[in-house]
Amino acid sequence: MVSNITKIFLVLNSGSSSEKFSLYEGDDEVCSLYFEGIEEDGKKKFICTITRADGSEELMDKRWDTLDGAFKEAKAIFEKEGFINEAHPLDGILVRTPAAGKYFTKHHIANEETFRELEKAKLTYPLHVPGAIRGLKNAMETFPGVPVLTMSDSEALTRSSRRDVDYALPEEVINEFELARYGAHGSSYGYIIGRVKELGLLEKRMIVCHLGSGCSVTGFIDGEPAYTSMGETPLEGLMSSTRTGSIDPTIGALLGEKLGAEEAIKVMIKQSGLLAMAGSSDMREIIAGAEEDDKKAAKAFDLFVDGVAGKIGEFAAKMGGVDAIVFTATIGERSMPVRNAVMDKLEFMGFEIKHDATIDKTKGFANIAEDGSKPVYIIPTNEAAYMIKKAGELLDGVEK
């Protein structure tokens, strides 16, 4: 069966206290709705901001008591705006599903098995899985008959080419909890490596740095993932905005004993990282603070840069060298001070960059390396485009 030329997908990102609905026609985002919690008169309320294709934003003059009401409201708004109707129905709803386990290394059309697996995944993702469950259930109830898909955050990374999947734990423990270094930011890496190939930039050994609110690094050999910094959960690897990154596991055990497992994980995911060190999770504020001799900000910046450079060096050693480096995501694409500081540490590996280089918008990417240097690219990521592509493939496969 031939698929539609342009599919209409609703991409859902369910947080612990927020819902984001992004409506796409093909790869183009035509409208998004962001529901977030606020304190009002001593009570938790939820507000909604509408963002249209031209970038204009509008805060709705309305309040909701729970996030569950966001779904019916979102449907009503999209219908009122004329984005979905009988002539232009939704082809699918995509729910980003951060969860570990073999089941979640693939994308699925949600069914009863999905919810059973999500209940199992609550153990390692107590802060994220409840939001995904809420999103899936509400999507099914609000848009009956529309396929609802769980989009894996590790699918693009869980390939046979990976060399760092196993943990050195007893086999019975591994099997009981399905433990592995699944990795995360898979939609970003899947998009970037596809874009690298499309642009004709593929090198034998490439390292991609996804530096945003969450941060990770992945090494590719011949375009296939070999090593990635995140593990069973996104806590392993680099420090990021509010995550610890890799720490002595005894600390996690001690926190769990004192606070309980869920609260300990919350501390390490939501209250740590740059926020804990510098009092801000925004790299721009940290850079500004470091430039003004704020010692905490400077220490946080240096530790962040050391972490990224160190992980690149580690993967280069494991791969027998590195032929090109890619920076992507918010910090990777926009923060010249971070890129400069990281790459200055890697000159011994044959890299030298133009310190004032920015992305070439006419090309959609940039090689910021000096003449004679190995290439260093800035390539904007588009996780939604990757998820939409994979969702289309999954639905077309079902239709056949």
Q: Which residue has the tokens 């943990």?
A: 167
Rounded CA gap, 388 and 12, in Å? Answer: 12
Do residues 144 and 176 make contact, with C-beta atoms less than 8 angstroms apart?
no
Rounded CA gap, 20 and 131, in Å? Answer: 11
Quick one: 74 exposed, middle or buried, by C-beta within 10 A (0-12, 13-18, 19+)? Answer: buried
Residue 38, both tokens: 């606020």
Rounded CA gap, 181 and 35, in Å? Answer: 32
Selected catalytic residue, list 61, 153, 248, 371? 153
Which run of H or of E encompasses 325?
strand 324-328
Rounded CA gap, 204 and 196, in Å? Answer: 12
The torsion of the CA quartet 139, 116, 101, 212, rounded to 10 degrees, works out to 30
Helix intervals (H) in 245-351? 249-259, 261-270, 273-278, 283-291, 295-319, 329-334, 336-344
Tell me whether residue 153 is one of the annotated catalytic residues.
yes
- At residue 271, the 3 state secondary structure works out as coil
Q: Among 169, 157, 129, 124, which residue's Cα sits nearest to residue 268?
A: 124
Phi and psi of 194, rounded to 5°?
A: -65, -40
Q: Among 47, 104, 53, 52, which residue's Cα sits nearest to residue 70?
A: 47
Rounded CA gap, 157 and 46, in Å? Answer: 35
Rounded CA gap, 387 and 11, in Å? Answer: 9
One DSSP character per residue, 195-214 reads HHHHTT---SEEEEEEESSS
Q: How many residues in total does the chain contain?
A: 400
Which run of H or of E encompasses 189?
helix 186-198
Please give the positions annotated as active site: 153
